[in-house]
Structure 1
Amino acid sequence: MDGTFICVEGVIGVGKTTLVTKLSAQFQTEPLYEIVAENPYLEKFYDDMDAWSFQTEMFFLCNRVKQLEDIGKILTEGQPVLSDYYIGKNLIFAHQTLDEQKYDQYKRIYNIVSEHLPKPKGILYLKADFDTIMHRIKQRDRSFERKMDPFYIQSLMQDYDQAMTAISDVIPVLTIDTTHLDFVTNQDDLNLIIQQITSTFGSLKENKHD
C-alpha cells in the first residue's frame, strides 16, 4: 500500500517549509523541501523578470520533477511524505511571469513531464493577509527577495486562490488562514492545524513520543 502524500502550499513567505518541518517531526514522515536558493537564475529573475523568467521556471520544474520521481519509491514502500510544495504551483508562477507564447510552450512541457509523478492525497493550503505575508518575507530576509515587487505578491495571492479552487475539484484542499496563528512557537496553534489535517485527510504516523 502506498504511503500518504500530502503537500503544503501557499504564496511566498506564508510558512510552508517551517510547517512541514514541524509536521514531519510530529508525524514521523519524510519531508520533501523545494529547491529555491540553489536556483542560479533567481537573483537575475528578481532584477529582470522578463529576461530571466523562462530559465527560472524551467530550473524549478526540472528539479521538482526529479525530486518527485525520487520519492516515488519511498511512497511505494508505504512511507508517508510531507512536501512543502505541490508541482502544480509551477503553472501558477509561470502564468505570472511568462508571456503568452512562452507560457503555452512551458505548459506543454509541464504536462508531459508531470503526467506520471506521484499525486498527493491532499493539499494543505496556507493563507495569510497581505501585510502578514510581507512581514514574514521581510523577517526571513532572503537576499534575492529584497527587491520583490509587492504587486507581484498580491497577484500571486489572487492566482493561488483561483488555482486552489480549481484543484479542489480533483484533489482535496484544506485551507487554513495563518494570519493570526503562530505555529512556530505556539503549540496550541500547531495542534489546531494537526487536528484539522487528521480530520480532513485521515491519520498519518503520529509521533507517540511528542
Structure 2
Amino acid sequence: MYKTKSWGFDGADFLNCAVSVNTHLDCQKLLATCLSIEKKLGRARSNKKGYSDRPIDIDILFFDAEVINELNLTVPHPHLQDRNFVLHPLHDIASAVEHPILKKTISTLLAESLDEGIPEKIQRWLKNPQQELNLSRYNYIAIEGNIGAGKTTLATMISEDFNAKLILERFKDNPFLPKFYEDQSRYAFPLEMSFLADRYQQLLDDIGQYDLFKDFMIADYDSQKSLIFAKVTLSEDEYSLYKKLHSIMYKEIAKPDLYIYLYQNTERLLENIKKRGRAYEKDISENYLVDINQGYLNMIKNRRQENIKILDISEMDFVDNRVDYSNLLKQIIT
C-alpha cells in the first residue's frame, strides 16, 4: 500500500494499492460490482468535472489481455502508464505483465514514467480473507446433496478459489438415465449398476492420481451416493445384491475426511431442476426427492463418527450473493 499526494486537485493524501482478482464475472458485470462496492462504502458520484476527495475509487486496470472500448468502460485503463501511484503498486504484483496495446511490461512502463510524484510505501498490508479459510487442512472433501441442491456448482467454486483438484461425477454420459426417468421399474437396476461401475472407476482413477500442484481434492459426490439412490429405486432383493457388490468394490477406496451435505427444501430443488432445463429431469416427482433426502439423512445418522456437516442452504444464493457464499465457507471451516 502506498500513500500519495492528491492528484489533479488540492486535497488530502490518498492510499493506493493494486490487487489481482480471479472472477467468473464478465467485464461489465465486474464493473457493476465495483460500482456497487463503492456505493456501499459511501461514495456518491456526481456529474461535476475534475477530481475530488472520495472514500474509495476502484478502477479496472486490466482484464486478462483484453482490449475493451465501450461507452462506460475502457480497458486497459487509459491513464495507468502516466501515474506512478498506479504503476508502483501494480509493479509489486505484476511487473512482468505486458500492456496489450503499448506492448511494454509494467516494469518498463514504470522505468519510462514521466510522472514526478513518488508514492510513499507504508507498512500496512491488505488482508486476504481466504487466508482465514484454511481448507487445505483436508486432503479430500466430498459435497453431497439431493438432485438440484447445487453440489456441483459449490464444488467447482471452491476448487477455483482454493486451488483444489475437482472431481465431478460423469453422469451425463449414462445412457440409462433418460430411460430411467421414463420407466423407473424397468431401468432402475441397469441404471444403478452402471452408476456403481462408473463411480467406482472414476474415484479409483481420480483419487489415485495426485496432483502436486493442487492443495486438496474436492468431489461433488461420494461412494455412498450409489447406496442411497439404489435403496430408493431397487426392489429388496435387487438392493441386497447391489449392497454386497458395493461393499466389495469400495472396500479399498479412500473415504473423504470432510463430508458436506447440502440441504435444500423440496420446493427449491424443483425450482433448480426446472431452471437447469435437463429434458430427462422434467418429470422428477416431489415424492422421489423426499425419499432421496431421507436416504441421505439415514446414511448420515449411521456415520456419526465421521466429520460430517449438514448445511441448510434453502434460503441462500451462494452463486449470485457473495455474502451467502462467504457465510457458507465459514460454516464449512468452523
TM-score, reference length from structure 2: 0.57
- Residue 168 of structure 2 is aligned to residue 33 of structure 1: yes
Structure 2 residue runs of 5 or longer lacking an equivalent are 1-136
Q: Which of 186, 191, 208 matches 1:51?
A: 186
Alignment correspondent of 1:99? 235
Q: What one-letter code is carried by the residue in structure 2 that aligns with 1:177?
A: D
Q: How does 1:118-157 map to 2 (within 5 A)?
A: 118-157=254-293
> Do the aligned partners of residues 110 and 66 (structure 1) sit closer, same or farther apart at CA in structure 2, a change above 3 Å counting?
same
**Greater helix share, 1 or 2?**
1
Q: What one-letter code is carried by the residue in structure 2 that aligns with 1:122?
A: L
Contact 2:176–2:191, Cα closer than 8 Å, also in 1: yes
> What's the offset of the Cα at 1:76?
8.5
> What's the offset of the Cα at 1:149?
2.1
Q: What one-letter code is carried by the residue in structure 2 that aligns with 1:140?
A: R
> Do the aligned partners of residues 198 and 64 (structure 1) sit closer, same or farther apart at CA in structure 2, a change above 3 Å counting?
same
Q: What one-letter code is carried by the residue in structure 2 that aligns with 1:110?
A: H
Alignment correspondent of 2:146? 11
Alignment correspondent of 1:117? 253
Aligned residues: 197
Q: Distance in 2 between matches of 1:138 and 1:76?
A: 36
Q: Which of 223, 243, 250 matches 1:87?
A: 223
> What's the offset of the Cα at 1:165?
2.0
Q: What one-letter code is carried by the residue in structure 2 that aligns with 1:158?
A: Q
Identical pairs, percent: 32
Work out which structure has the larger RCO, using CA pairs closer than 8 Å and 6 or more positions apart in sequence: 1
Q: Distance in 2 between matches of 1:75 and 1:149?
A: 39
What secondary structure, in the 3-state scheme, does the structure 1 residue paired with 2:172 have? coil
Name whichever of 65-74 and 25-34 sits farther off.
Answer: 65-74
Q: Distance in 1 between matches of 2:233 and 2:220?
A: 21
Q: Which of 287, 294, 306 matches 1:171?
A: 306
- What are the superposed Cα offsets for residues 72-91 of structure 1, whole Å, 9 maximum, x if unpaired? 33349684110000110110
Alignment correspondent of 1:206? none
Q: How does 1:66-77 map to 2 (within 5 A)?
A: 66-75=201-210
Q: Distance in 1 between matches of 2:138 and 2:313?
A: 27
Q: Distance in 1 between matches of 2:210 and 2:221?
A: 16
Q: What one-letter code is carried by the residue in structure 1 that aligns with 2:154?
A: L
Q: What one-letter code is carried by the residue in structure 2 that aligns with 1:143?
A: A
> What's the offset of the Cα at 1:171?
2.0
> What's the offset of the Cα at 1:194?
1.4
Contact 1:3–1:76, Cα closer than 8 Å, also in 2: no
Contact 2:159–2:166, Cα closer than 8 Å, also in 1: yes
The CA RMSD measured in Å over matched residues stands at 1.7
